Amino acid sequence: MTTPAPPDLLYSETEDDLRAAVRSLLTDRGGPTAALAEAETGRPYDPDLWRSLATGMGTAGLLVPERLGGQGATAREAAVVLEELGRSVAAVPYLTSAVLAVRTLLGCDTARPEVAGPLAALADGTRVGALAVPLPTAPGGAPHGTVRGGAGLSGEITSVAGAAGADVLLVPADSGLYAVDATAPGVTVTPVTPLDLTRPLARVTLTGATATLLAEPARARTAVADALLTGAGLLASEQLGLAEWCLAETVRYTGGRHQFGRPVGSFQALKHRLAALWLDIVSARATARNAADALATGSPDTAVAVAVAQAHCGEVAVRAAQECVQLHGGIGMTWEHPAHLYLKRAKSDQIALGTPGRHRETLARLVDLPGPAG
Amino acid sequence: MSGPTTSPKDGAAAARSGGTDATALDADALRRRVADLLTTHDPATTDRLDFLRARFDAGLAWIHFPEGLGGLGAPRALQQVVDQALEAGGAPDNAPRRIGIGLGMAAPTLLRHGTDAQRRRFLRPLWTGEEVWCQLFSEPGAGSDLAALATRATRDGEGDGWIVDGQKVWTSQAHLARWGILLARTDPDLPKHRGITYFVCDMTDPGVDVRPLRQITGEAEFNEVFLTGVRIPDTHRLGGVGEGWQVARTTLMNERVAIGGARVPRESGMIGLVADTWRRQPELRTHDLHQRLLKLWVDAEAARLTAERLGRQLALGQPGPEGSGMKLAFARLNQEISGLEVELLAEEGLGYDDWTLTRPELVDFTGRDAGYRYLRAKGNSIEGGTSEVLLNIIAERVLGLPPEPRTDKDAAWKDLPR
């Protein structure tokens, strides 16, 4: 068992500054309370917030080199943005457009105008993209062949995150990867009612839809696999931010809520649970940073780092959200309190881009711990 | 011999560690001093103890200590430069693991609270290992609640000293020790934290009776120490009368530092051992064990990365509260992983290597067989602060949750129920 070179698991000053800017924007826009109001509008996302975050602050182009119209930053900076988005359960298509769709395009030949064009538009946030695969797809598990090419694309893809509200869909098909304009004839995007009210899901139906070929099948597979790996690795940072909010809010609440003549947070039964959760989050931060750093540096350890981060952070975020609901008591069960948004996001994130169990199975292969024969 | 060139990193580390003085020693200056020592005391021809004494006198023992006490007042971060240069020169070390209590707990306390005479008397033989130290803190009636301790120190009627009576427990190295750092109650009428005084106890006093304490592994790492009419001169008191609790905090803070924060490679420790068994013996594998092994592998890797992150923070002089969590995490992991390994080994897990009462000088949690590791790991969540107390500390000091209401803090010690 070899140990990779020490990763940089801390936050740089630039990353701290970026975090402060994103947090300030999200706080100004009302934080979790606004997220609840937004969820009830039925819109896939808040276009004003997206414009400020993606275009105004330039975060949509963090993963894109400057020569291709982006900011030339790395997965480390995108991870910090996702931490803050998780902390505020903001309904913006950052993971689906600025990470999954952008990374898919970056995996294609960016010298070709049909790739560079949409990439630049996603990088400056003026257009929104979505990778048309079911959200539960784990890295390495990309389904191909459900959509068939020909004169036009035909087929159906379920549970596509961010498809509702997307301008361009990146569709893996049997004959390669295609770009499909969401408004083109033969494209139907049918929203489904999601468990997570802050991340829209839709069924994408294509009936002879006009499409532009972005990559041949082999390149398409690599591009999609790389995008899913990046997405899974960075999702860990969203889960981290989400869990941190749940802990901080629960500590605040139990410190002020009195029963039996004492703050309920002074009872050991609650303190021990919160301290244990803090421990979980401390280690979640180490694994999420490790995944972001591996993705940023192209480390040979990236697949292990991502699988560890997903196997760990997916569980920690759910535990944090569940503890948040339980330790808030009755108010945690209400629609009015935002705790439920975090629980729903955490539970959906646990399924997104591979469940913790699936990532552990991946690890079994990667680190040579095979299961029993047969 | 030409030393390696100084990297800019060394300079930066020195600046951060408080080396603001323009005349502060840099890595090159330290390497020159090491070279001088190696010239005047060639390790190949110098007696080990003579070399260690010369190293101490040259200020190269612990360079962050003051001059004259084994140090040079240099940044602690540069100690590794000295250690590496000495190792490269073939110098003997002071077997630091054998004298961990002296180095990690007694020495910082002596430095911070000792008189000049005490520091000069004790620090040199402590560092060279000529005199082993032990810690006489815990008692049968004072574990997590250490401040409740009942060992009494009363003024010796005849002179300027003290007479100590009581019982201490979980004392490692007591059977080898020349000195013990001792907490004793000097005023039972005061609240418990205020009536304690800190002493250096002579372990060769006829009133000191050290008995091995056999533990669940069959061995006896620790001792019980019975103190009957032990005489301690007042010159062996550390800090003021009744100020022992504040002095002890220095010792205990250093204990926590010593326990947390070490860097570990992937699959080191318990998880590496069970992973090896898993790979070597496919016939033992079941689906259930596979799922549990993978979960523990992820947890161990997450803990390793957390330690890695903490280590980086410490190196940059930004200690985070993460340190207080590492001991908790490793205690749980050690217990769960070793438990899984015994189960995995099945028939072999039914056996045990040796129940003979032995007295190991050093403890290796991963030493011996899986059954031993399983039993020894039970202590990891008790020794050095129980996991339950550590969770309280995290909840109150890191998260800022309100303390439990307490009735024992302001009452006279003698009135507390025992």
- Neighboring chain B residues of A254 at a CB cutoff of 8 Å: 401
Domain B102-108+129-247 has CATH 2.40.110.10: yes
Q: Dump the DSSP string for A164-182.
A: TT-SEEEEEETTEEEEEET
| Chain B residue numbers touching A308 (CB-CB < 8 A) | 298, 301-302, 305
Residue to mutate among B144, B273, B277, B306, with most A CBs inside 10 A, is B306
Sign for the pseudo-dihedral over CA of A273, A274, A280, A284: positive
Contact with chain A for residue B316, Cβ under 8 A: yes
Sheet hosting strand A153-161, strand order edge to edge: A153-161, A201-209, A187-192
**Contact residues for A242 (Cβ-Cβ < 8 A; gap 6+):** A86, A87, A89, A317, A320, A321, A342, A345, A346, A349
Residue of A nearest to B274 (CA): A369
Q: Residue A137 corresponds to which tokens in the numbers above?
A: 């797809």
Residue A170 confidence (pLDDT): 98
CB contacts of B309 in chain A (<8 Å) are: 9-10, 285-286, 289
Cβ contacts from A onto B, under 8 A: 142
> Cβ of B8 under 8 Å from any chain A Cβ?
no
pLDDT at B265: 87
A113: number of Cβ within 10 Å: 8
Question: A281: Cβ–Cβ under 8 A, 6 or more apart, which residues?
Answer: A240, A243, A244, A247, A316, A320
CA distance A168 to A100: 13
User: What distance in Å separates residue B127's CA from the closest CA in chain A?
Assistant: 32
Sign of the C-alpha dihedral, residues B381, B382, B388, B392?
negative
Residues of B with Cβ-Cβ distance to A10 under 8 angstroms = 309, 312-313, 316
Please report the DSSP string for B187-243 in residue order. -TTSBTTTSEEEEEEETTSTTEEEEEE--TTSS--EEEEEEEEEEE-GGGEESSTT-
Number of Cβ atoms within 10 Å of the Cβ of A208: 13
Chain A residues inside the 8 Å CB shell of B265: 3
Question: Under an 8 A CB cutoff, do A308 and B298 touch?
Answer: yes
Residues 6 or more apart whose CB falls under 8 angstroms from that of B258 comprise B100, B104, B105
CB contact under 8 A, B404 and A266: yes
How many C-beta neighbours within 10 Å does residue B9 have? 11
Are residues A283 and B329, on separate chains, in Cβ contact within 8 Å?
yes
Sheet arrangement for strand A168-173 = A129-131, A168-173, A176-181, A212-215
pLDDT, position B19: 40
Residue pair A215/A223 in contact (Cβ under 8 Å)? The answer is yes
β A153-161/A201-209 pair status: antiparallel
Partner-chain contact B285 A372, CB within 8 Å: yes
Interface contact A279-B329, CB threshold 8 A = yes
Contacts of B291 in chain A (CB under 8 A): 357, 360
Look up residue A80 and give its two tokens. 């910090």
Q: Are A312 and B287 inside 8 Å of each other by CB?
A: no
| Total number of residues shown for chain B | 418
Classified as helix, coil or strand, A100 is: helix
Single out the residue of A25, A86, A112 nearest to residue A314, CA to CA.
A86
- Residues of B numbered 37-56 whose beta carbons fall under 8 angstroms of chain A's beta carbons: which are they? none
| Distance (Å) from the alpha carbon of B276 to chain A's nearest alpha carbon | 9
The shortest C-alpha distance from B188 to chain A (Å) reads: 29
Which of A263, A265, A276 is nearest residue B391 as measured by Cβ atoms?
A: A276
Of A251, A279, A364, the CB nearest to B401: A251
Pick among B286, B287, B386, B391 to test the A interface (most A CBs inside 10 A): B391
DSSP assignment of A231-297, as one string? HHHHHHHHHHHHHHHHHHHHHHHHHH-EETTEEGGGSHHHHHHHHHHHHHHHHHHHHHHHHHHHHHH
Query: Residue A110 has what DSSP assignment?
Result: T
Residue among B308, B313, B399, B404 with most chain A CBs within 10 A, to mutate:
B399
User: For strand B152-155 and strand B133-136, is the pairing parallel, antiparallel, or unpaired?
Assistant: unpaired
- Does B325 lie at the interface with A, CB-CB under 8 angstroms? yes
Quick check: A283 and B403 CB within 8 A?
no
A368 → chain B, closest CA residue: B279
For residue B23, give Cα distances in angstroms to A47, A299, B12: 60, 41, 15
pLDDT, one tens digit per residue, over A184-213 is 999 999 999 999 999 999 999 999 999 999
Q: Which helix (H) or strand (E) holds A208?
A: strand A201-209
Place of tokens 């819109």: A43
Inspect the interface and report whether the beta carbons of B282 and A278 lie closer than 8 Å. Answer: no
Rounded to the nearest angstrom, the minimum Cα separation between A239 and chain B is 15
Minimal CA separation from B320 to chain A, in Å: 10
B402 contacts on A by Cβ (under 8 Å): 255, 262-263, 265-266
Q: Which two tokens stand for residue A145?
A: 């062949």
What is the pTM assigned to this prediction?
Answer: 0.90
DSSP state string for B123-170: HHHHHHTSS-EEEE--BTTBSSSGGG---EEEE-TTSS-EEEEEEEES
Mind telling me how many Å the CA of A370 is from chain B's nearest CA? 8
Any CB–CB contact under 8 A between B405 and chain A? yes
Residues on chain A touching B294 (C-beta within 8 angstroms): 311, 360-361, 363-364, 369
Say if residues B176 and B361 touch (Cβ distance below 8 Å): yes
3-state secondary structure at position B111: helix
Phi, psi of B149 (to 5 degrees): -55, 150
Instruction: Say if CB A315 and CB A356 are below 8 A apart.
Output: yes
Closest-CA residue of chain B to A3: B266
Q: Phi and psi dihedrals of A81, rounded to 5?
A: -60, -45
Give pLDDT tens digits along chain B (418 positions).
333 333 333 333 333 344 444 356 899 999 999 999 999 999 999 999 999 999 999 999 999 999 999 999 998 889 989 999 999 999 999 999 889 999 999 999 999 999 999 999 999 999 999 999 999 999 999 999 999 999 999 998 877 899 999 999 999 999 999 999 999 999 999 999 999 999 999 999 999 999 999 999 999 999 999 999 999 999 999 999 999 999 998 888 765 544 444 557 899 989 999 999 999 999 999 999 999 999 999 999 999 999 999 888 877 767 667 777 889 999 999 999 999 999 999 999 999 999 999 998 877 888 789 999 999 999 999 998 899 999 999 999 999 999 998 889 899 999 999 8
Q: What is the ipTM score, two decimals?
A: 0.96
Residue A352 neighbours by CB distance under 10 Å: 26
Which domains does chain A possess? Answer: 13-127 (1.10.540.10), 131-216 (2.40.110.10), 220-366 (1.20.140.10)
CATH of B260-385 among 1.10.3470, 1.10.1220, 1.20.5, 1.20.140 = 1.20.140
Cβ within 8 Å, pair A279-B328:
yes
B287, burial (CB in 10 Å: exposed 0-12, middle 13-18, buried 19+): exposed
Whether the CB of B398 is below 8 Å from some CB of chain A: the reply is yes
Asked if B344 and B277 touch (Cβ cutoff 8 Å), the reply is: yes
With a cut of 50, which residues of chain A have pLDDT below it?
A: none
Expressed in percent and rounded to 5, the helix, strand and coil fractions of chain A are 55, 15, 30
C-alpha A345/C-alpha A323 separation (Å) is 14
Provide the pairing of β-strand A129-131 with A168-173.
parallel
Q: How far is B412 from chain A (nearest CA, A)?
A: 25
User: In this complex, do B295 and A7 lie within 8 Å of one another by their Cβ atoms?
Assistant: no
For chain A, give the percent of residues with pLDDT over 90.
93
Which chain B residues in 258-287 lie under 8 Å from chain A, judged by CB atoms?
265-267, 272, 275, 278-279, 282, 285-287
Contact list, A360 vs chain B (CB under 8 Å): 291, 294-295, 298
Q: Between A270, A276, A283, which is nearest B302 by CB? A: A283
**Mean pLDDT score of chain A, rounded to an integer?**
95
* Domain residue ranges of chain B, discontinuous segments joined by +: 8-88, 102-108+129-247, 260-385
d(CA B281, CA B35): 51
Q: Which of B286, B316, B403 has its CB closest to that of A266?
A: B403
Q: Which residues of A touch B403 (CB under 8 A)?
A: 266
Residues of B with active-site annotation: 255
The Cα–Cα gap between B333 and A150 comes to 55
Contacts of B404 in chain A (CB under 8 A): 266-268
